[in-house]
Structure 1
Amino acid sequence: MAADPVSVLQKLWGYPDFRGVQRQVVDRVLGGQSTLAVMPTGAGKSLTYQLPATMLDGTAIVVSPLIALMHDQLRAAEAVGIRAATLTSVDENKAETRGRFLDGELDLLYIAPERASTSDFRDLLERGRVALFAIDEAHCVSEWGHDFRPDYRLLRPLLDRFPGVPRLALTATADEHTRADILDQLGIPHDGMIVAGFDRPNIRYSISPKDNTTRQIADLIRDTPGAGIVYVQSRAGTEKMADTLRTATGRPVRAYHAGLDPEVRRRNQADFVASEDMVICATVAFGMGIDKPDVRFVAHAGLPKSIEAYYQETGRAGRDGDPAVAHLFWGAEDFARARQRIGEVEPARQPGERQRLNALGALAETAGCRRRILLAHFGETPPEACGNCDNCLSPPAAVDATETARKYLSAVFRTGQSFGATYIEEVLTGKSSERSLMNGHEALSVWNIVDGEEVAMLKPVGRALLLRDGLRTNPHGGLEFGPAARGLIKGEDTLKLVIPPKRERRRRGDQAANPVNDPLFEALRTRRRELAQEAGVPPYVIFHDSVLREMAAVRPTTLHALGRLTGIGQRKLDAYGEPFLRVIREN
């Protein structure tokens, strides 16, 4: 272990130096200290165990929750020259992998938590040499985490069988409570935690009320070149959304959910990982096992489960550091359904679930910086404005809609708390119908009391009342009072309404990989695509777009000059240097 970590970094990955807290984590691992590293997605978590694994005597055992994720990381590790293998239920070379481990020929061995807790695997490890235990997606060990996996709870006995081997737990999404639980469950000292922060400055956060969601998402896809993920709340919804978007945008769009034929699901995932412009419409299960760095946008066609889930799902965009978009589309009915679900869980969990939903409501409803609310939720103290969310880029107007809200609530009450939003609006605006005549509602004091510019405020006021729990929906779709109605009616509370600015269509290509339309860059991308197909790997495994942009800008003419670019290590220089130099010479 005489080599210097920076020299190893430069040789294997071609990076001039570590980023953020990577060096702190690597130094702790090399020093034999157990550590919990909380690092945002895209901050290079995998490097913090991959690099030490090449320097330590023995094999680093990496516990990872999904087979697809392991195979993605295996490809990336092998591409830079790391001796790695997976031991999963779908691997046909299990005996060969065991032999390589026992012979000391592996730097990394990826394993699922289910296999890691078996006695057979413990016996295998005791016959070889283990240098490090790395537990990826470590929030899965905590019941407080949003992706709790019981098999992670069974890891502690395995770790304790190797008391001299350091433990490195890694996660991007863990609040203070979850972090403490991870430390306890994995036996890591509480002073062994490094928190890098949660900010992903390259992601632009936008949140909009639903107004024909499919059309809104189609507009987003047209405006945003590159691969993207659209999260849909139901299996049937993913297929319907994919069919509609495919027709509306002309882009390749596929569906992904657990109910698909396994071969179709596998093919759709593999094609998406390899694609540079495919859109996948999926349930939220999709993405955790995808290590695809060039996702340019993530759209939510409905409400995520929590801010933690939202952060993790949006974090699948822009892992390569290039600009990316996260756009959430929400409706009042999303909050109404979420509140109904809270009422169905055991009473002890309801206060926590209600708090999580209120936090999402604050994020959706704010006229201020979205990133500020997001980061504050994880205990950070961010600046007032980030400059890269919809509200910072185009500040919305905030109007006092308290009086309109009182009229709305009054109409709900006087019509018997049994009618839906459309009928309430008809009563308030005096739109006569057979129903209003039959019910005698045209004689009510609330009949036709809203006109002029105030009419346009009714829909957003109704949405805001549902979001704030001033209104709830009954099983038949009728509106009834929620707990927050009382304060508004009595004049104790106010309702501020955020009026978003009119949407301006951005020029297609504003966030494209090739912002200056350089023909050399496109030629390099084409060659990368060809090499990726020949090697059977996704294009980003060859080089990221940022590397190709630097090639196009610098135009190196020798292998030595090419090797000085950021992100080109020795193994990739040897494998791909000449083909890319030929493209540069010919263009």
Structure 2
Amino acid sequence: MEEACLLDEAFTAVCRKFGIAALRREQRTCIEAVTRGEDVFGSFPTGFGKSLIYQALPTVAETLRRKRDPIVVVISPLKALICDQIEWLRSKEVPAAAIGVSNADDDLIQEGKMQLVYGSPEKFLSNDKWSSFLHLPHIRENVIAVVADEVHTVIEWGCSTDKAKSAFRPWCGRVGEIRALLGKVPLLALTATVPLKFRAKLILQLGMPACKQIISSPDRENVRTVVRRVDGDIEHVFAPLIDALRAKRHNCPRVVVYCKSTDTCSLLFTLFQSRLGDHGYHEDKSERLVENRLFAMFHSISAEATKANILLSLKNAEGTIRVIFATTALGLGVDIKGLYTVIHYGPPCSIEEYQQELGRAGRDGKPSVSILLWNRSLGRHVRSEMDQFLLQSSQQCHRKLMLAHFLEKNVAVSKVCGTHDCCDICAADCICGDCPLYWGTSIVNVSSLVRDDVVNCWTASKKEVLASELREYVFEIEGHEGIQFLPEYVIHQLVENAKNFCHPRDIPSFVDIPRNACIDAIFSLLTRVLEQTHI
């Protein structure tokens, strides 16, 4: 009873310190388990408040009188995330610092004066100074928890599925060793996106087989999803967004456009620059300076100063930058203010990446929209589960497809499934009478961005060209002399079902294709015709 009262007192102190009304039930459960010395694996949706769980631990330990100088060691793979959190914690007068950033901070860390000590897996494990730090008696005595944040990167970045290739960041795969260096200290592992099939593997790799698992659905109920095929004319696809930015300037709702490559980021940046001219700059600022431009691009090879300036603008809902073209470099842990529309120009590599990136929108809980635009060319180089999602997304609820990737079947459902608040598939079947409201809440009208003339890639003229080229396709049959042409009924099947082909292996499902016809060659022909913009 006394313990429960002390915990309530501790939670009240946390709310007072961080300026919140109350902790979520799952946050309290995680904190209680860690204070009991249990390992905890927590999976919660983006924008849930995962970081508050471990940021609250020193305050809780002090209130429970467990430690006078409590320390939480936080392992995070992301420099930008670390910097943001430290800045915020210091604004709340919480002693926090990252290892290896400044001599002054390093001295305070070594003395045990910082309550939250941040660092990357590489810095803690590959640097003798900081691995030795974990052995210091006064540090070991006061560390109350080790936190592995964004823990899905242990497998995604720290392990390689291809024996011929090394992992992207191999030290990420050894995060569990940091807890081992500290001895018997609880490990708190947190993420938003771990596929169900990898969860057990990840828990074992972290060395926490008996951990308490607290799993919430990764579903972002306030984010509607739209998936549409588009043609290969990038200017055609983005004309509505260019028009919106030209008309509204700094009043244009903020939009992030995720691209599959730095080249595509550059292409879109150049397109907007050429089409907008003076209209691409803040109208209240006379000079055409970089800091006055309404759009920007953010990727791994952007200069650090450029990244810092962009992130500074994105932290302010009224910041100058209204449209940002980005790769996955603008990803985990970035809190973009006033963002209610995320566009993917081409599908992300994986369902996890897709869930993370659409979760950048509406982190304050306001209605938002995620729009995935794709075609065969953009749909290359994705994992099998994303390939399947693309195949099924034209007929099945997007949310159900995604949740099945993360949760057991009996809980892979959302209360918004089947309503116009869910996805464009559910919206098409909704009969509530308020459905038109669905299409008016995004940047530019969603129906404008994915208008029929863009979505319907297979125009009559393209079908005619396709049929003509298919009639010229020839192949050989072993044991028979001469070449063979495709039968007219096969050509008809190919033309009428072209919209259903995302991969060569889809063709036999819709077409009675001759056994010796090369489906890869036919698929390449289909793709070439589809992406001809002059037809």
TM-score for the superposition, normalised by structure 2: 0.70
How far off is 1:313 after superposition?
1.2
The answer to whether the 8 Å contact 2:222/2:366 transfers is yes
- Correspondence for 1:297: 341
How far off is 1:123 after superposition?
1.7
Alpha-carbon distance between aligned partners in 2 of 1:9 and 1:16, rounded to the nearest angstrom? 10
Query: More displaced, 233-242 or 286-295?
Result: 286-295
- Correspondence for 1:392: 426
TM-score for the superposition, normalised by structure 1: 0.64
- Correspondence for 2:313: 271
How far off is 1:331 after superposition?
1.0
How far off is 1:381 after superposition?
2.5
- Is residue 120 from structure 1 mapped to residue 129 from structure 2 by the alignment? yes
How far off is 1:141 after superposition?
1.0
- Correspondence for 2:36: 31
- Give the alignment partner of residue 259 of structure 2, picking from 221, 229, 232: 232
Which AA in structure 1 matches 2:505? Answer: P
Alpha-carbon distance between aligned partners in 2 of 1:123 and 1:308, rounded to the nearest angstrom? 35
Alpha-carbon distance between aligned partners in 2 of 1:424 and 1:202, rounded to the nearest angstrom? 38
- Give the alignment partner of residue 203 of structure 2, picking from 183, 189, 193: 183
SS in 1 for 2:378: helix
Which AA in structure 2 matches 1:242? Answer: F
Structural mapping, 1:472-551, within 5 Å: 482-490=504-512
Structural mapping, 1:325-340, within 5 Å: 325-335=369-379, 337-338=380-381
Structural mapping, 1:115-194, within 5 Å: 115-117=123-125, 118-127=127-136, 128=139, 129-143=142-156, 149-194=169-214
Query: More displaced, 370-379 or 45-54?
Result: 370-379
The answer to whether the 8 Å contact 1:25/1:35 transfers is yes
The answer to whether the 8 Å contact 2:145/2:185 transfers is yes
How far off is 1:155 after superposition?
2.6
- Is residue 101 from structure 1 mapped to residue 109 from structure 2 by the alignment? yes
How far off is 1:110 after superposition?
1.2
- Give the alignment partner of residue 353 of structure 2, picking from 279, 304, 309: 309
Which AA in structure 2 matches 1:44? Answer: G
Q: 1:219 to 1:181 in 2, by over 3 A?
A: farther
Unaligned residue ranges in structure 1 (runs of 5+) = 343-352, 398-419, 437-442, 470-481, 492-587
How far off is 1:390 after superposition?
2.4
Alignment: residue pair count: 421
Alpha-carbon distance between aligned partners in 2 of 1:268 and 1:10, rounded to the nearest angstrom? 31
- Correspondence for 1:60: 72
Structural mapping, 1:294-443, within 5 Å: 294-335=338-379, 337-338=380-381, 353-363=383-393, 365-366=394-395, 368-379=396-407, 380-383=411-414, 384-388=417-421, 389-395=423-429, 425-426=463-464
How far off is 1:156 after superposition?
2.6
The answer to whether the 8 Å contact 1:20/1:196 transfers is no
Alpha-carbon distance between aligned partners in 2 of 1:39 and 1:163, rounded to the nearest angstrom? 27
The answer to whether the 8 Å contact 1:67/1:289 transfers is no
How far off is 1:427 after superposition?
5.0
SS in 2 for 1:37: strand
The answer to whether the 8 Å contact 2:99/2:109 transfers is no
- Correspondence for 1:84: 96
- Is residue 464 from structure 1 mapped to residue 484 from structure 2 by the alignment? no
RMSD: 3.6
Alpha-carbon distance between aligned partners in 2 of 1:31 and 1:101, rounded to the nearest angstrom? 25
Which AA in structure 1 matches 2:500? Answer: A
Structural mapping, 1:207-286, within 5 Å: 207-211=227-231, 212-218=236-242, 225-245=252-272, 247-248=275-276, 250=280, 252-274=294-316, 276-277=318-319, 278=321, 279-286=323-330
Q: 1:120 to 1:334 in 2, by over 3 A?
A: same
Alpha-carbon distance between aligned partners in 2 of 1:301 and 1:21, rounded to the nearest angstrom? 35
Unaligned residue ranges in structure 2 (runs of 5+) = 62-66, 161-166, 282-293, 432-457, 474-484, 514-535
